């Protein structure tokens, strides 16, 4: 015998019941953070829960999709090492890294623009004197990079520390070969006039690591994993905000489709080719073709209170 539905049940007759049920979960979770130890934590968690739950409701997240997401994040964490940060890479390809950079970069006219940190920074790089080569035998044509570190007012920043790292001619960083050897990586200090200079190699375009969860995401999205040729800089000096940036090789490929959205027009730099047998800026005779780039770095005042 077939039962007759109870059409008098107010829950069955209320089309907004499911909406109220879902909203009640969100409200309960937000309320659970009401006594957080700091106001900032309470604000951040309330906003995170609100937006995360809204995302799940908007796309009608299925349990299979939720399970897949959990496994994906687990895989992302498990592939991380001291020299490979897959979560940074994930943040990069989602554009969150560049958005955070933009939010936190002071809008100081003329200051060098910031870009992403990237997943291949390593602490305790070797120190080099001005004009020395940081390449240490890495593959690639020699490249001489020089410029000045200036304040926003135009004056020099003596003694500014420049941390520099880049990939070789094959598009690999030192840590992708060997976790202990350091090549095309180092730090140096600007002179009394704020000038800096060093030899390295011409950087090459390369794909971001695609053998892990981030690579699977890009493949599923049919997105390119390529990055344009660039050199990383991190510049610090007392009284100035820390600058993390790149300089990009002008005219090279992938400037318009950088996998991590880091290219800014002001950071695209001419790398001028010189023939073998010519004399370098430091008076050295070069037996191969070599490149030269000049880039002034302008630091913004430290905005921290």
Distance CA 28, CA 25 (A): 5
pLDDT value at residue 39:
97
pLDDT value at residue 254:
96
- 154-190 b/e (C-beta count within 10 Å ≥ 16 → b): eebbeebbbbbbbbbbebbbbbbeeeeebbbbbbbbb
Distance CA 167, CA 126 (A): 16
pLDDT value at residue 5:
53
Structure tokens, 177: 């070969």
CA distances (Å), origin 60, targets 21, 104, 188: 14, 33, 52
Q: How many helices (H) and strands (E) does the chain have?
A: 8, 12
> Residue 177 contacts by C-beta under 8 Å, 6 or more apart in sequence?
none
Dump pLDDT digits (tens) for 208-246: 989 999 999 999 999 999 999 999 999 999 999 999 999
Ranges of residues in the chain whose predicted pLDDT is under 50: none
Phi/psi class of residue 10: alpha, beta or left (left: φ > 0; alpha: ψ in -120 to 50)? alpha
Q: Is residue 90 within 8 Å of residue 213, measured between CB atoms? A: yes
pLDDT value at residue 302:
87
pLDDT value at residue 107:
72
Q: Is residue 92 within 8 Å of residue 260, measured between CB atoms? A: yes
- All structural domains of the chain, each given as residue ranges with its CATH number in brackets, are 10-61 (no CATH), 86-299 (2.60.130.10)
């Amino acid at each position: 015998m077939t039962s007759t539905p109870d059409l008098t049940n107010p829950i069955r007759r209320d089309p907004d019941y499911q909406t109220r049920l879902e909203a009640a979960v969100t409200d309960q979770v937000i309320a659970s953070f009401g006594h957080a130890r700091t106001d900032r934590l309470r604000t951040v968690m309330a906003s995170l829960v609100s937006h995360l739950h809204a995302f799940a409701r908007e796309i009608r997240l299925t349990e299979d999709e939720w399970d897949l997401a959990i496994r994906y994040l687990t895989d992302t964490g498990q592939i991380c090492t001291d020299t490979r940060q897959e979560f940074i890479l994930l943040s990069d390809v989602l554009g969150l890294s560049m958005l955070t950079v933009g939010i936190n970069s002071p809008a100081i006219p003329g200051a060098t623009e910031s870009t992403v940190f990237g997943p291949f920074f390593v602490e305790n790089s070797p120190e080099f004197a001005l004009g020395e080569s940081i390449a240490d035998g890495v593959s690639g044509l020699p490249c001489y990079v020089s410029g000045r570190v200036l304040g926003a007012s135009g004056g020099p920043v003596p003694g500014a520390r420049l941390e520099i790292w880049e990939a070789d001619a094959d598009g690999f960083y030192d840590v992708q070969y060997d976790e202990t050897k350091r090549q095309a990586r180092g730090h140096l200090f600007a002179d009394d006039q704020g000038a800096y200079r060093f030899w390295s190699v011409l950087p090459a375009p390369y794909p971001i690591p695609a053998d892990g969860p981030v690579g699977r995401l890009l493949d599923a999205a049919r997105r390119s994993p390529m990055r344009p040729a660039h050199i990383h800089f991190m510049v610090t000096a007392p009284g100035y905000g820390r600058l993390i940036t790149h300089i990009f090789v002008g005219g090279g490929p992938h400037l318009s489709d950088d996998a991590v959205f880091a290219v800014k027009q002001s950071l695209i730099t001419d790398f001028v080719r010189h023939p073998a047998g010519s004399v370098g800026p430091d008076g050295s005779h070069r037996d191969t073709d070599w490149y030269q780039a000049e880039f002034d770095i302008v630091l913004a005042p430290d905005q921290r209170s």
